[in-house]
Amino acid sequence: MNDKLLEEIDWRLRVFDSLSFPTLILKPDKVILTANQVFLEKFGVELEKIAGKKCHEVFYGTLSCPNKVCPFPKVLAEKSGTSVMRRHTTRTGKRLYEDRVFSPILDEKGQVAYIMESVRDVTRQKNLELALKETEAFLEKVILGSPIAIVAADRYGHILLMNPSAEELFGYANAFAVRQITADQIYPPGVASSIMRQLKDGKGKLRSLKTTIINAQSEAIPVELTASIIYEDNEEVATVGIYTDLREKLAVENKLKETRAQLAQSEKMASLGQLAAGVAHEINNPLTGILFYATLKLETMTAEDPERSDVEAVIEDVKRCKEIVQNLLAYSRQSSPMKDIIHINAIVNQSLSLIRDPKMFRNVRIERQFSDEMMLVHVDKNQISQVIINLVMNAISAMDGTGVLTLHTYRDKEAGKAYLEVIDTGCGIAPENLTKIFDPFYTTKAPGEGTGLGLSTAYGLVKENKGNISVKQTSGEGTTFLLEFELYHASNGSEE
């Protein structure tokens, strides 16, 4: 061998030895010809012990190959390289993943003379891949199982994902239906683009926004939205939104507001009631005195006395004052009710017959919409009559004597309530006055036409009878006052 040839062999062997992957050279019959240094070190074997052996004897210590698929026939037939992934467990129990690359080495006739097999340890990559898959599967479970509604859309607004909670909130039955919609369709007009603007202004984050969504049934639902833009390599790829349904929260808040308002109203009425009771008491005695002396004076006067009409005017006005005092006492619950068990329709009929001046009704059509269900209530019928009369008189003056007055009774058995609505086609009550109408002396009538005690008296009497009075609705078309009383049952008859 000449020097040149020796040199050639030397560097070729060095190249082989310096390959960074453990590598074998095999004959087509799988017999090992040689191995590089890295192979010997990595597998802890000596060349003499493995040369001449078949590869499976070295790798698996078996006489025949345990692998179902051997890449040798493929490499021999196609004369091109291939690779297979092998998983095996070391003697210490460590699981390894190897990517084995088989490359043919051809002879001068183009036939496969040898096969080079290099073993690449891809355990780390494989483990990372598995961990990633696991994390992905876990995240998917978290998103799908979350009670919070999550929606993701691509940068063009196409919905990519709606978890089951979101499908429920938005009312879409399945993923197919979801894929047909865009972000524009789940908000009122203009809201989707405004959210996008806010997201961009907030550097891709929107912490909390109270807004409205439109569900598949076209219903508007109040929600709280938290959203963010998802970037990949600084490029916007999707947006994700988390929605909290606010309906229940708002309903509770409204109920609370209503209860607070009711409480404030009843506190106001209670203190006004005390004041009214005090005033009524104080005034009643001097009034009795004035009436007594004025009547005495009148008796001593002749029919022609020029001052007689003055004294008569005094007596008339004092009587009016006493009536006011009487009403004030009713409002402040100073009189005790005499309760009967009576059908609510009967009280309405009695009240209407008690209105003394039929002229008032001349241009008013009265409609009785009475439910014929059993609606017994346990109340002082005279007091409730007075309430109904006050409401009817107010309705007639609101209609200026012309219109339709409807008296509608009905019950709600489950709630245990009987109801009477007094409905007029009158002028209505301005919203800013609604909180004042039950106050004593609040009136919009001209001086001398009304004292402003009708509704406050009614309020006091209704409360006295464990009922409720309210304005159910009012507008330029008319007003509905609602009276509620507990339905009487033999079983709760002894409630007092």
Cβ at position 392, least distance to ligand ATP in Å:
9
CA angle 230, 235, 237 (to 5 degrees): 45
Binding-site member from 334, 443, 468, 473 for ligand ATP (CB under 6 A): 443
Sole window of 37-45, 58-66, 238-246, 441-449 interacting with ligand ATP (rule: CB under 6 A): 441-449
437 binds ligand ATP (CB under 6 A): yes
445 binds ligand ATP (CB under 6 A): yes
| Residue 336, burial from CB neighbour count under 10 angstroms (0-12, 13-18, 19+) | exposed
Amino acid at 430: A
Q: Look at residues 387, 384, 380, 398 and name the one whose alpha carbon lies nearest to residue 453.
A: 387
Sole window of 12-20, 289-297, 302-310, 390-398 interacting with ligand ATP (rule: CB under 6 A): 390-398
Going across the sheet that includes 23-26, the strands are: 32-35, 23-26, 112-121, 95-106, 82-89
442 binds ligand ATP (CB under 6 A): yes
CB 15 within 8 A of CB 32: no
CB 410 within 8 A of CB 371: yes
Cβ at position 382, least distance to ligand ATP in Å:
18
Backbone angles phi, psi at 309, to 5 degrees: -65, -30
Cβ at position 160, least distance to ligand ATP in Å:
57
Handedness of CA 83, 84, 87, 90 (dihedral sign): negative
Size of the residue set binding Mg ion (CB under 5 A): 2
450 binds ligand ATP (CB under 6 A): yes
Please, which of residues 455-484 interact with ligand ATP by CB under 6 A? 455-456, 479
Helix 454-464 and helix 247-299: axis angle, to 10°?
Answer: 110
Binding-site member from 390, 409, 425, 465 for ligand ATP (CB under 6 A): 390
CB 61 within 8 A of CB 53: no
Cβ at position 327, least distance to ligand ATP in Å:
8
Q: Taking CB within 5 to 8 Å according to partner kind, which of Mg ion, ligand ATP, none is near residue 34?
A: none
276 binds ligand ATP (CB under 6 A): no
Given the DSSP bridges, would you call strands 376-379 and 340-343 parallel, antiparallel or unpaired?
antiparallel
347 binds ligand ATP (CB under 6 A): no
C-alpha to C-alpha distance for 289 and 321, rounded to whole angstroms = 13
330 binds ligand ATP (CB under 6 A): no
CA angle 270, 276, 281 (to 5 degrees): 130
Please, which of residues 361-420 interact with Mg ion by CB under 5 A? 394
Residue with tokens 């052996």: 53
C-alpha to C-alpha distance for 330 and 276, rounded to whole angstroms = 10
Cβ at position 449, least distance to ligand ATP in Å:
7
Nearer to Mg ion, 241 or 454 (CB): 454
Q: Three-class SS of residue 69?
A: coil
Sole window of 58-66, 159-167, 373-381, 422-430 interacting with ligand ATP (rule: CB under 6 A): 422-430
Nearer to ligand ATP, 409 or 451 (CB): 451
Binding-site member from 427, 461, 462, 487 for ligand ATP (CB under 6 A): 427
Q: Taking CB within 5 to 8 Å according to partner kind, which of Mg ion, ligand ATP, none is near residue 104?
A: none
Nearer to ligand ATP, 418 or 427 (CB): 427
CA angle 84, 86, 90 (to 5 degrees): 155
Residue with the shortest CB distance to ligand ATP: 454
Q: Rg (Cα) of the chain, in Å, rounded?
A: 48
Q: For Mg ion, what does the binding mask look like between residues 438 and 467, x meaning CB under 5 A?
A: ----------------x-------------
Nearer to ligand ATP, 222 or 450 (CB): 450
Q: Taking CB within 5 to 8 Å according to partner kind, which of Mg ion, ligand ATP, none is near residue 244?
A: none
Sole window of 193-201, 334-342, 369-377, 425-433 interacting with ligand ATP (rule: CB under 6 A): 425-433
Q: Look at residues 317, 329, 331, 328 and name the one whose alpha carbon lies nearest to residue 287.
A: 317
- DSSP letter for 31, please: B
Binding-site member from 38, 392, 423, 453 for ligand ATP (CB under 6 A): 453
394 binds ligand ATP (CB under 6 A): yes
451 binds ligand ATP (CB under 6 A): yes
Side-chain-side CA neighbours of 445 within 13 Å: the count stands at 17
Please, which of residues 107-126 interact with ligand ATP by CB under 6 A? none
Please, which of residues 395-414 interact with ligand ATP by CB under 6 A? 395, 398
CA angle 429, 432, 435 (to 5 degrees): 85
| Residue 212, burial from CB neighbour count under 10 angstroms (0-12, 13-18, 19+) | middle
C-alpha to C-alpha distance for 328 and 282, rounded to whole angstroms = 12
Which residues of this protein are in contact with Mg ion, per CB under 5 A? Answer: 394, 454
The residues binding ligand ATP (CB under 6 A) are 390, 394-395, 398, 424, 426-429, 437, 442-445, 450-456, 479
